[in-house]
Structure 1
Amino acid sequence: MFNFLVIPLTVLGLTACSEPTASAVAQDNALEQAVQAESRQDTNKARDKFRNPQQTLAFFGIRPNMTVVEVSPGGGWYTEILAPYLKQDGLLYAAHFPADSSSGYYARSRQAFVERVTNDANFANIVVTEFAPFSETEIAPPGSADMVLTFRNLHNWYMNGGDEAVQNAFLQFYTALKPGGVLGVVDHRLPENRPDTDMASSGYMKENFAVAMAEAVGFELVERSEINSNPRDTADHPRGVWTLPPTLRLGDENRDTYSAIGESDRFTLKFVKPKTD
């Protein structure tokens, strides 16, 4: 069941192998413009130094003519970049919380996002779908997406449903992607030498656990990146990842210390759905 709300390659002489093509330069410029756009909220832009959106999306290989699924977009932090970037030549599915969710928070979050799609010209042409790890709805038509992106979501699925929830999520992504399509994953990183039980409530996930869950449904790991790493983060804070900015759950207690650490240490993983499927 699919529930939704519809709101020339130039060769540069003998140096072509080492110099970017004209189309690649244009794509890079378009992504930079989307990141630097005045339409983005100032509070969101302030977090670019921690989230590195331009470098992250470039690492995943995004292009403006792609069909992209953003999973659990929340208030639209990444959507502010993706929507205008894909508006002309691509397509963006925003797989938000289910419309019939019994959670008041989920319902309010989805409603606020839908209102923004309706009223914000920069969010025009987004297709709002639904996602939950155990849902039977489709995040996009099967085999239609060039790229699926999830930013800091795995820990939520794991804390609410364990291994099965994470694996079910990855299976939905696999189904939505075309053969050769890319899955981009970013989440808070728990050191590999820590007990697995630390993933249960800390908000941090082991990178190799994420890889194993993705590979279990058929994905192949293409590359890891340290774009979003933060060596100052020890991942052992009293209120988990929410001890750090932007949440700062301890309030004024050791606020300067946690602010100096900055946002969490994060892994950035690029997977592909094999073309042989």
Structure 2
Amino acid sequence: MAVRSLLLTVMVGASVAAAAIAPAYAQSPLYQGRRGAAVGIAAAVASKDRPDEDVASDKNRQPASLLAFAGLKRGMNVADIMPGKGYFTRLFSNVVGGEGHVWAIVPAGLVAKKPTAADAVKATAAMPVFSNVSVLIQPLDAIQVPKRLDLAWTAQNYHDVYYGAGVDAALAFDKSVFAALRPGGVFIVIDHVANPGADADVAKLHRIDPAIIRRQVEAAGFHFESESKVLVNPDDNHDLPVFDPAIRGRTDQVVLKFRKPAH
């Protein structure tokens, strides 16, 4: 009932909004595209194809707001970089549909250390309902996909690259994403927030100062576009490791949107 209510609420809200604005704009391709994207995202979140574990995480992860912020819509080519178990991979698949494609990119270095690291997302790609998903095992500094990407996405992973592989490796990763995107394409980075100037032990917290992310990604050629506050949690003082039961699943997170220049 909850997922049906979500879809119904979005569709009704869109209809009411259409009635409240200028008729000419309501019929314009721009408005219709935005309305269609909102309904498509709501349908993806409400899909019965999603595992119960994913649905249970929605309250904390706020997928509808995040996908709308990213500008995700049908027909897009998307890379879910470091996809974990495929939470966002499945949502992307449902939104972009048969006209689009999703590449779940698992770091080759991670698979070398943990051979089963790609198994969960491979299982998703093997399901007929997610036939527009492909799994690629590649070095993060040499991402290659068959088509230019409209959207590249990484959630709760950037700190691992920066502190695990190093500053140079993080910049090489950003440059690799830049090269894989089409001109005007979007790069979304979501991560757990660390306090500015946190000492070297911040790596053990699995957090990162948002200013570091922005500095690194802009150095690769991206333009910073905007930040979403949807995952902000003022009750998180950033002192606990993200896996601590007192804060796990409810960390203060930054959501940054970067764009590759169109020219």
TM-score by length of 1: 0.80
Deviations 1:128-186, CA, capped at 9 Å, x for gaps: 2224334x4x3424x70111011111111123112112111111110100111000110
Alignment-derived partner of residue 125 in structure 2: 117
SS of 1:109's equivalent in the other structure is coil
Alignment-derived partner of residue 136 in structure 2: 129
Alignment-derived partner of residue 228 in structure 1: 231
Alignment-derived partner of residue 34 in structure 2: 24
1:41 equivalent in alignment to 2:51: yes
Q: Runs ≥4 in structure 1, deviation > 4 angstroms?
A: 14-20
Larger CA deviation: 35-44 vs 206-215: 35-44
Alignment-derived partner of residue 76 in structure 2: 66
- Aligned AA for 1:217? A
RMSD: 2.6
Distance 1:116 1:13 in 2: 42
- Aligned AA for 1:124? S
Q: Which has the higher contact order (CA 8 A, sep 6+)?
A: 1
Distance 2:190 2:163 in 1: 16
Matches within 5 A, 1:106-185: 107-118=115-126, 120-134=127-141, 136=142, 138-141=143-146, 144-185=148-189
Matches within 5 A, 1:251-270: 258=246, 263-270=250-257
Inter-CA distance 169–99: structure 2 relative to 1 (3 Å threshold): closer
- Aligned AA for 2:228? S
Alignment-derived partner of residue 102 in structure 2: 92
Alignment-derived partner of residue 56 in structure 1: 66
Structure 1 residue 196, shift from structure 2 partner:
4.5
Distance 2:78 2:32 in 1: 23
Matches within 5 A, 1:177-216: 177-192=181-196, 194-216=197-219
Deviations 1:220-249, CA, capped at 9 Å, x for gaps: 000011111111111112xx1111xxxx3x
Q: Calculate percent identity across the aligned residue pairs.
A: 26
Alignment-derived partner of residue 261 in structure 2: 274
Inter-CA distance 114–227: structure 2 relative to 1 (3 Å threshold): same
Structure 1 residue 97, shift from structure 2 partner:
3.2
Distance 1:49 1:113 in 2: 22
1:80 equivalent in alignment to 2:54: no
- Aligned AA for 2:188? G
- Aligned AA for 1:218? G
Structure 1 residue 195, shift from structure 2 partner:
2.3
Distance 2:228 2:43 in 1: 23
**Cα contact 1:71–1:131 (8 A) shared by 2:** no
Give the length in aligned residue pairs.
244
Inter-CA distance 122–215: structure 2 relative to 1 (3 Å threshold): same
**Cα contact 2:98–2:132 (8 A) shared by 1:** no
Distance 1:269 1:178 in 2: 19
Inter-CA distance 111–15: structure 2 relative to 1 (3 Å threshold): closer
**Cα contact 2:81–2:105 (8 A) shared by 1:** yes
Structure 1 residue 31, shift from structure 2 partner:
0.7
TM-score by length of 2: 0.84
**Cα contact 1:80–1:122 (8 A) shared by 2:** no
1:242 equivalent in alignment to 2:243: yes
Inter-CA distance 100–48: structure 2 relative to 1 (3 Å threshold): closer
Larger CA deviation: 168-177 vs 86-95: 86-95
